[in-house]
Amino acid sequence: AIGLAVMIVVVSVVVGFKKEIRDKIIGFGSHIQISNLDAMYSYETYPIAAGDSIMSVLYDCPEVVHVQRYSAKLGMIKTDEAFQGMILKGIGEEYDTFFFRECLVEGEIPVFTDSVASNQVLLSEALALKLRLHLGDKLYTYYIQGNIRARRLTVAGIYRTNFSEFDNLFLLTDIYTVNRLNNWKPDQVSGLELQVRNYDTLEETTYALGDQFMGNVDKYGADYCVRNVQQLNAPVFAWLDLLDLNVLVILVLIIGVAGFTMISGLLILIIERTNMIGLLKALGANNYTIRKIFLWLSVFL
């Protein structure tokens, strides 16, 4: 009974933990991203055109349920107390902010658009504590692109996901501000994030979109690159896969111990009942009848 309870607890904890980590990664970057192929080989982002034509093509895919644009810019936050490298991620009106609303601990999520600068930012609680920032505080962000450029932003909201790899990295603002920092045209973005209908067919959907966009370029000559969340975060998902091996080892050990306990218990029972077996044999019971008695006892064990 204890072994069975341990097996149920182990499997439940690992499955729940894996789902929680996966959902947080997807919350930050969706299931699939379409970006510039050159961005794979650089820390800087390169733009792709995200006009109505590509959006209609993506929505024609039966597995795609939502498409949202984003732009990103590497930079640094500096306050009087500390400084921190970060990625400023710009989002538009169509961006699904459900994940960040669920993780919001202070303030609100501003209405970000692609037509006006909000000068507001959403950052994690971990960054706020490290930089000693509070709701409504002003912070200066710096970007190097030829000359050093600075932007002053106001803390509009603070979120907490307890996923430090991303909490210490991302700040959210409007896509208009990030595109201006990158000197991009209005229809250019860092990429498109796609939410799919069925996670179990994620790999097939990724390859189908990859085949569709392979060899195509946008009107500015940029090559498309299609990658899913597992490819973008390969080390994390490889680590999660190792948890399955750990669970398998634990289950094998528990089953082995439980089996040994049952066999030893049955042997003890047989040894204790030696006199009874002799009496039954004397009364004319055959081996099959005696064996059946102990098989029933083993079932109850």
The per-residue pLDDT for range 105-119, each reduced to its tens digit, is 999 999 898 888 999
- Of 99 and 292, the structure prediction assigns the larger pLDDT to 99
Alpha helices in 41-90 (DSSP H): 52-59
Q: What percent of the chain has pLDDT over 70?
A: 97
Domain ranges for the chain, please list them.
2-6+238-300, 31-232
pLDDT averaged over every residue in the chain: 87
Residue 133 DSSP symbol: -
What 3-state class would DSSP assign to 162?
Answer: coil
Please tell me the predicted confidence (pLDDT) of residue 145.
75
First-to-final CA distance of the chain: 10
The letter for the amino acid at 148 is I
Torsional sign, CA 255, 258, 261, 262:
negative
Query: What's the predicted TM-score (pTM) here?
Result: 0.79
Question: Which residues, in sequence order, are CB contacts of 213 under 8 Å at separation 6+?
Answer: 34, 224, 226
Q: Would the pLDDT of 301 be above 70?
A: no
Q: Would the pLDDT of 3 be above 70?
A: no
Q: What pLDDT, in 10s, does the model give residues 161-196?
A: 988 889 999 999 999 999 999 999 989 999 999 999
Q: Following DSSP, what letter does each residue of 222-290 receive, concatenated?
A: PBEEEEEHHHHTHHHHHHHHHHHHHHHHHHHHHHHHHHHHHHHHHHHHHHHTHHHHHHHHHTT--HHHH
Helix (H) or strand (E) holding 216: none
Please tell me the predicted confidence (pLDDT) of residue 172.
95
List 106's β-bridge partners, or say none. 158
Q: What pLDDT, in 10s, does the model give residues 287-296?
A: 888 778 777 7
Read off φ and ψ for residue 33, nearest 5 degrees: -125, 135
Task: For residue 5, name the pLDDT band (cuts at 50, 70, 90).
Answer: confident
Please tell me the predicted confidence (pLDDT) of residue 190.
94
Q: Would the pLDDT of 144 be above 80?
A: yes
- Of 202 and 255, the structure prediction assigns the larger pLDDT to 202
Please tell me the predicted confidence (pLDDT) of residue 251.
79
Residue carrying the six token digits 């990158």: 182
CA distances to 129, 130, 160 from 81, in Å: 11, 9, 21
Arithmetic mean of pLDDT, 255-277: 76
Structure tokens at 278: 């002799």
| Number of residues in the chain | 301
Q: What pLDDT, in 10s, does the model give residues 222-237?
A: 899 999 999 999 998 8
Please tell me the predicted confidence (pLDDT) of residue 44.
76
Please tell me the predicted confidence (pLDDT) of residue 209.
92
List 155's β-bridge partners, or say none. 121
Provide the b/e sequence for 139-176 (b: ≥16 CB within 10 Å).
bebebeeeeeeebebebbbbbebebeebbebbbbbbbb
Q: What pLDDT, in 10s, does the model give residues 37-70?
A: 888 777 678 999 988 888 888 998 999 999 999 9
Task: For residue 121, name the pLDDT band (cuts at 50, 70, 90).
Answer: very high
CA 145 – CA 156 distance, rounded (Å): 26
Please tell me the predicted confidence (pLDDT) of residue 1.
62
CA 192 – CA 69 distance, rounded (Å): 5
Nearest to 209 by CA among 63, 66, 96: 63
Question: Which residues, in sequence order, are CB contacts of 60 under 8 Å at separation 6+?
Answer: none
